[in-house]
Amino acid sequence: MNFAASPVLALTLPTWRSRLLLYVFIGCFAVLLGRAVYLQGLNNDFLQAKGESRYSRVIEIPANRGRVLDRNGEALAISTPVKSIWAIPGEVHPSERQLARLGALLEMSPREIEKRLSDTGRDFVFLKRQIPPEVAERVAGLHIPGLFQNREYRRYYPSGEVTAHVLGFTGVDDIGQEGVELAFQDRLAGKPGSRRVIKDRLGQTVEDVESIKDAQDGHDLPLALDARIQNLAFTQLKVAVAQHRAKAGGVVVVDVDTGELLALANFPTYNPNNRNKLAGAQLRNRALTDTFEPGSTLKPFTVALALEGGRVRPDSVIQIAPGSLSIGASTIHDAHFERSLTVAQVIQKSSNVGAAKIALALSAESMWEMFRDVGFGAAPGLGFPGEAAGRLRPYRSWRPIEQATMSYGHGISVSLVQLARSYSVFARDGGLVPLSMLRVDIPPPGRRVMAPRTAGAVRAMLEMAVNRSGTAPRAQIMGYRVAGKTGTAHKQENGIYAADKYVSSFVGFAPASHPRLVIAVMIDEPSAGRYYGGTVAAPVFAQVMAGALRVLDVPPDAPMQPIELPPEGEEVKESV
């Protein structure tokens, strides 16, 4: 071929153009080489991270929640290992047979599972949480790609409904929701750890690479609660609520020396291990969160204040006739007609007229200070959620009729825990210690509220209230001297007192010679025909106190002879 004959083929290109092209290619290779050196030699973190993201995972290692123990080391709340099943929506496509089998294992309908797996707007979705490990193994045996499992813990409460209101419960994330579980969440909860692992394309762990942070388990929590006394209190309360067809009830047991709560029982209750049908009313720890007018259980404080100020002596005579006292447009009545009573008999017979006359001889400020000193009007300070402070109005707003009715527990509201603590003043010779839900190894110092002589005089009066001539003979215990006081009060509804609804209570301590326990009992709205505290609440006190003293091996301080109780059909009335 003659190239010279063709003008196009005969064209000669400049030499610099070929050289420029060569330099461009060399420059491109140099840039690529430099980039490769930079990424693979000097800064390979990015590529390494991208690579590891295909197979490396950091998984959380859950911490074991601390146990809740009673004062003797018996486990009241423990954590058991469980599994949770989860998936990434849109990436799991089980066959119909696998779906049906999965639904049966998780106790879910196939349609519900499909609905959750089709929710592509979420990064992941839980199919079922807190399932037993053996069920999780059977789920893994289905070999459904894209289905994952996490290890978790589930709380279990061996005592069930007996300690439900004390312990509360945790949610699915093992965080306290009620009771001790919520109040001491920081102490019980551990700190989760983490580990780096290698997973295959199915999400299964094939290699454990390293530990990043060790899990720190929560601390065990030793309560002051005695499981034996708690069970006794709950059993007797449940029987009493059923027997008197009551709306609710509570029992509180306090150690006189340490202020420890050895038992706190409520009814109705619930099973914290199965909360599927749990109602709000069942959750209320009534002994701590509910308040009521304590009725005649407050009379001993009015008398103690008068004794302390030298206004009266135990044998001072109070004129009661004609059995009523008018103050302005209101009239106070007694259940029994008496012409006159000594101060001691005012407590023994539970005279409203006598208590009101004593109160009106005192200043409103001094009464208010006495009530505040024994803990009324302030939360008990146990750290429980919803602790009630009760209602104690400023003394400057008291009218004479209000000062008179407060002397026998009307116009003031307290919780059952507050009432139990207040009576420890008489049991401790005038001293008061803070309450504790946790076990106390060294008893705290007490705070002086009244003189030992005053407390001793009132204690003797409270013993009289429990004998055959008092309002609470059914509170007696064979082998032990008992001191205590009944309370019966109308319930308030819509700002007025309901004529046929009552709160029956009894609070006392034993042995009276050297008190060890204070027990307070409250029965709400007994409707079986009887409602006086001496008939409804005092027998519960006697049963719980007798059993608790035996459990604690407290020596008797009275002859071991049968107790003389009123006939079964006889009801000892008291002023309401």
Q: Which of the residues are catalytic? A: 296
3-state secondary structure of 194: strand
317-319/261-267 β-pairing: unpaired
Strand partners, 221: 68
CA angle 181, 433, 465 (to 5 degrees): 105
| CA distances, 253 to each of 115, 382, 401, 545 (Å) | 52, 15, 34, 9
347 with 487: CB under 8 angstroms?
no
Which sign does the torsion angle of CA 465, 462, 423, 410 carry? positive
Which sign does the torsion angle of CA 271, 272, 277, 278 carry? positive
Q: Which of these, 321, 362, 295, lies nearest to 533 by C-alpha position?
A: 295
Q: How many residues are listed for the chain in this entry? A: 576
| CA distances, 195 to each of 88, 213, 214, 375 (Å) | 21, 7, 8, 51
3-state secondary structure of 161: helix
**Where are the strands (E) in 415-541, listed by range?**
431-432, 447-448, 483-493, 496-510, 517-524
Q: What's the half-sphere exposure (Cβ side, CA atoms, 13 Å) at 100?
A: 3
Element housing 48 (H / E): helix 45-52
Write down the residue that tokens 């390979």 correspond to.
44
In this structure, what DSSP letter does residue 568 have?
T
Structural tokens at position 288: 């701590």
305 with 543: CB under 8 angstroms?
no
CA 115 to chain centre: 38
Distance between first and last Cα of the chain: 134
